[in-house]
A and B are shown apart, each in its own frame.
Chain A
Amino acid sequence: MAISIRGLTKKFGDFTAVDSLDLEIKSGEFFSMLGPSGSGKTTVLRMIAGFELPTQGQVLLYDEDVTNKAPFDRDVNTVFQDYALFPHLSVIENVEYGLKVRKVPKKERLERAMEALSKVHLADFADRKPAQLSGGQRQRVALARAIVVEPKILLLDEPLGALDLKLREKMQIELKELQRELGITFIFVTHDQDEALTLSDRIAIFNNGKIEQIGTPQELYEQPATEFVARFVGTANVFEPEQSNKLFGINAQTMIRPEQVELGSTGDSAEVLEVIYLGSTIRFIVDLNGQQLIAEVSASDDNAKSYRRGATVKVKMSKTDLVKLT
């Protein structure tokens, strides 16, 4: 295991940011911690890096207890949300910083720093100051600075949060490639579910300082364990036990994904409340006996295109697509 977290708790005064958390992360994994702001994911990351000391519990990196070790004694490196580049140093000086404080000879550290800069396609910017770079370029410098010291684990705290959408998508691909190339463990904190689904081997969903569920993107989407996960990862139609009983004969909270709600000529009658065109799909909000449902249909479906607001459609849901929540 690259990281084992046991009973990790962090309290700030009366507020419990992280609540007796257990977590195992395998070596070489791209692991994401996904959750809304204030759910404790960044605090866990900061405790792994050593910036915060846990109130209780342990952090083990490759079976070594590092719970009380200082950040400079841990074999992990962090890419900060605001990049935290040293403003008074040039790009190359920023990147070689970790080697300099480790007393690597000047010639070797310059070579390694340049190599890291080429990996993030910034070799031509070595002599600039951080203030002369764009957001995306600063992001790359932060990455190069962290990987140049060859950590076993790289921690990324919402590293793409400050970038615009196009750049973010590009950086996502580059991050994934970089992780494959380096073969090290990436721990990625984000509140963006698309980003987490795109990048991760496994994802932990955080809520109120606890992990709601851990799984592959597919598992989380297809088999969410709780209502929170169902709603946070993708879009969900959630049925309370009473309605679920009426519709399907299952006396428990259940959920179904919008694309599994079929609109057609068979099934129960429902009224179309809203039609939202999304490009590749069309999203319908329909009223089925007082229960609002979201249905998503491929935009190439000619029948679906003809449904207008106020029209009556037939809704069919298969019981096998239904997921029981706890």
Chain B
Amino acid sequence: MRISRSATIILGFISSLVLAVIYLPLVIVFINSFNKSMNMEWPPPGFTLNWWVRAFGSGGLIAALGTSVVIALCASLVALVLGTLLALALSRYKFFGKESIGLMVILPIALPGIVTGLALNNAFRTVLGLQLSMATVIIAHATFCIVTVYNNVLARLSRTNRNLEDASADLGAGIFTTFRLITLPQIGSALIAGGLLAFALSFDEIIVTTFTAGAGVETLPIWILNNMFRPGKAPVVDVVAVTTVLISVIPLYFAQKLSRDDAK
């Protein structure tokens, strides 16, 4: 399609504006993490690495980072196992209620976090009588992390030849051998992409987390929330925000790259 010169300029301007609205505030946070002024004066009177040193010297912050990483890793792991099993079942077998289950699996991504959080909080505490802890956060995160794994693996399975599994069985391989030697290599990169997305989702989640975290379980986003308005903490919060963005964005980048390479 050919676009006239003036249209190109107008469209380019609008696109830049949209991108600027999304990313400029992030850039400001990034710059502020080096801002010499404790009160975030703008423009910054000077730059310092002080906040970065302070942030990573603070025990609470490092602990929160560790908690977030552990939760994201565990939730991703749960999601990888369950999401793969679900995708296999729904793509390879016919059974009653198959469509409904497929919908129920992807629904959590659309549910408002506050509803999921409230519902799980009720279920854990009132119905099951459980103490909220790190485990409850992991379970809660897994509910929406499954979706990314499931979607990635399902898309891959639909593109792989079903006869490969039949051929493997025909040549004498049992179900688990076939999965290990044939199915897994076919879906490997989809698993990694799905797992990375799941990690990114879990790592910066806050709403569901606040409803399901036990006392003393402080993830990085919760740490930010708790420290944001404390006097003198703002620059350190900026440092943490930048860190959080980086840890979320890097897996996302690799997940995208993996999906793209496979599509070729």
A-side residues, CB < 8 A to B, are: 49-51, 70-72, 76-78, 80, 82, 84, 86-88, 97-98, 101-102, 145-146, 149
Contacts and interface: CB of A to CB of B under 8 A. Distances in A.
Contact of B170 (A49, A86, A87, A102): A49
16 contacts: A49-B170, A50-B170, A70-B169, A71-B166, A72-B169, A72-B172, A72-B174, A80-B166, A80-B167, A84-B164, A86-B167, A86-B182, A97-B173, A101-B168, A146-B170, A149-B172
B175 to A, nearest CB: 8
Interface string B173-185: 1100100011001
B161 A101 contact: no
A182 B72 CA distance: 57
Contacts of B243: none
Q: DSSP class of B's interface residues: helix, strand, loop or mixed?
A: helix
A49 B169 CA distance: 10
Given A101-B177, A101-B181, A82 B171 contact: no
Given A86-B182, A146-B170, 13 more contacts: A51-B166, A51-B169, A72-B174, A78-B167, A78-B170, A82-B163, A84-B166, A86-B167, A86-B168, A97-B168, A101-B168, A101-B177, A101-B181
A146 B172 CA distance: 11
A71 B185 contact: no
Interface of B: 161, 163-164, 166-174, 177, 181-182, 185-186
A90 B174 CA distance: 21
A86 B164 contact: yes
Contacts of B170: 49-51, 71-72, 76-78, 146
B172 A84 contact: no
3 nearest A-B residue pairs (beta carbon): A98-B171, A84-B163, A84-B167
Contacts of A72: 169-174
B186 A88 contact: yes
B174 to A, nearest CB: 6
A267 to B, nearest CB: 55
B172 A98 contact: yes
Nearest to B177: A101
Nearest to B188: A88
Contacts of A78: 166-167, 170
Contacts of A86: 164, 167-168, 182
B188 to A, nearest CB: 9
A70 to B, nearest CB: 7
Contacts of A80: 163, 166-167
B221 to A, nearest CB: 39
Contacts of B167: 78, 80, 84, 86, 145
A162 to B, nearest CB: 13
